[in-house]
Amino acid sequence: MHLGRTFARIILPIVMAGFVAAGCGGDDGVLGIGGIPDDAFCTVDGTAIKTKDFDLLLTSARQQYKDNARDFPKKGTDELATLKSQAVEFLIQRELIRQQADRYDIKVTDKQVKKGVADLKKQYFKDDEKAFKAELKRTGYTEARVESDIRDQKLSEAVYKRVTKNVKVSDADAQKYYDEHPDQYVTKKSREVAHILVKDKKLADTIYAQVKGGDQAVFAKLAKQYSTDPGSKTTGGVLTGGVQEGQTVPEFDKQVFTAGFQSGDTSAPIKTSFGYHIIQARSAIKAASKQKFADVKADIKKTIQGTDETDRYTEWQKDVRKKAEDDVSCRKGYVWTQTVDTTKTTAKKEKTTKSDDSSSDDAKKTDTTSTDDAKADDAAATTTSTDDTKTTSTDK
């Protein structure tokens, strides 16, 4: 396991826990450079985001591309501009998470961080300290950075729990879901079968002549010898776990679930798009059934809980991002999508207010931009969770 992959794809994305918005900006626009220290590229409510952190993402990105045998985006390309914007997104959102954790008085102890590092070493390096250090050196990571990333991960998880702590799902909610999604809890008709698949009709007839008597041992022997189905050849033709109605191709399905096809019967060759099947019924047809609410209630409540928590967190993060717009300042070339989109929209409004005729058009543009922003945030929230967020590192 390459550490570059371990941290660039696992640790860093988890830190943000669904906070990074979809989309990206370009290199245009100065989003307020006043008060930004020389060694920083942005400030978030007065806290400097160091340029060296941006450069660390550069190193991670190059290593990740190299590990994937991909060429790193060239200067001036849209792909590189996207990566740059995503890197700014990541670092600003990480700081927002930290500030929100302070607001909730959430702390991560050194003991928690130590355990997180130990768990990572065990999972990805099998507790091989030498291998861990070698990968640190290869990828340009440091143990301090690993610890910092894990601390941020723990903060993010704790913030998520704090925001969603009051989300509760009642038995009535679960019952309603069960009633509204009946197909999810129905098990279709099924039965145990075995088959031999061959391409040639003449061979299929020859095999059928030898197995039509129902001898399972003979059937298994010929399946291993002649069947072209790799999934059942080694099992003597048995389709492990049986088949459900509608699961196989129509001709096969029709034969298997014909009422007159009894347990122990063997069909004459059935032609499908795959070839010729000789099918042997190994059990009676098991009738369709519906799971009882009591048996699935816990799983339903868990499903609803996850959805409701995601919705609650999504609304919360939108609010945090909106309120942060006036508190984020970046140098030219470092673009936070949230503020650059707002800046562009505002500029359009100022330009068009010179004409009464253009005001209505400008309002339409503003509404469209706002809708697109909301869709971007919704898309990001839908594809992420407290355990996994897609974030890409960048280059200058």
One pLDDT digit (tens) per residue for the chain, 396 residues: 444 444 444 444 444 333 443 333 333 333 344 589 999 999 999 999 999 999 888 888 888 898 889 999 999 999 998 888 889 999 999 999 999 999 999 999 999 999 999 999 999 999 999 999 999 988 888 999 999 999 999 999 999 999 999 999 999 999 999 999 998 999 999 999 999 999 999 999 999 999 999 999 999 999 999 999 999 999 999 999 999 999 999 999 999 999 999 999 999 999 999 999 999 999 999 999 999 999 999 999 999 999 999 999 999 999 999 999 999 999 988 888 775 554 444 445 444 444 444 433 433 333 333 334 433 333 333 333 333 333 333 333
Report the pLDDT value the prediction gives residue 107, as an integer from 0 to 100.
96
Query: What pairs with residue 197 in β-bridges?
Result: 277
CA 211 – CA 134 distance, rounded (Å): 60
- Cα 173 to its chain centre, rounded Å, is 26
Report the pLDDT value the prediction gives residue 339, as an integer from 0 to 100.
59
Quote the pTM value: 0.62
Report the pLDDT value the prediction gives residue 150, as an integer from 0 to 100.
95
CA 44 – CA 21 distance, rounded (Å): 17
Report the pLDDT value the prediction gives residue 56, as an integer from 0 to 100.
87
CA 86 – CA 392 distance, rounded (Å): 6
Residue 70 contacts by C-beta under 8 Å, 6 or more apart in sequence? none
Task: Please give the structure tokens belonging to residue 162.
Answer: 């704090």
Residue 273 contacts by C-beta under 8 Å, 6 or more apart in sequence? 249
The secondary structure of the chain, three-state, reads: CCHHHHHHHHHHHHHHCCCCCCCCCCCCCCECCCCCCCCEEEEECCEEEEHHHHHHHHHHHHHHHHHCCCCCCCCCCHHHHHHHHHHHHHHHHHHHHHHHHHHCCCCCCHHHHHHHHHHHHHHHHCCCHHHHHHHHHHHCCCHHHHHHHHHHHHHHHHHHHHHHCCCCCCHHHHHHHHHHCHHHHEECCEECEEEEEECCHHHHHHHHHHHCCCCHHHHHHHHHHHCCCHHHHCCCCECCCCEECCCCCHHHHHHHCCCCCCCCCECCCEEECCEEEEEEECCCCECCEECCHHHHHHHHHHHHHHHHHHHHHHHHHHHHHHHHHHHEEECCCCCCHHHHHHHHHHHHHHHHCCCHHHHHHHHHHHHHHHHHHHHHHHHHHHCCCCCCCCCCCCCC
Report the pLDDT value the prediction gives residue 35, as an integer from 0 to 100.
80
Report the pLDDT value the prediction gives residue 376, as an integer from 0 to 100.
37
Report the pLDDT value the prediction gives residue 333, as an integer from 0 to 100.
84
> Are residues 120 and 150 in contact, defined by beta-carbon separation less than 8 angstroms?
yes
Q: Domains (ranges, CATH) in the chain?
A: 3-168+297-382 (1.10.4030.10), 189-287 (3.10.50.40)
> Are residues 6 and 138 in contact, defined by beta-carbon separation less than 8 angstroms?
no
Report the pLDDT value the prediction gives residue 158, as an integer from 0 to 100.
97
Report the pLDDT value the prediction gives residue 335, as an integer from 0 to 100.
83
Report the pLDDT value the prediction gives residue 396, as an integer from 0 to 100.
38
Task: Report the candidate in 200, 364, 366, 181 with the shortest Cα–Cα distance to residue 269.
Answer: 200
Task: Please give the structure tokens belonging to residue 31.
Answer: 């989003």
> Are residues 324 and 96 in contact, defined by beta-carbon separation less than 8 angstroms?
yes
Report the pLDDT value the prediction gives residue 205, as an integer from 0 to 100.
97
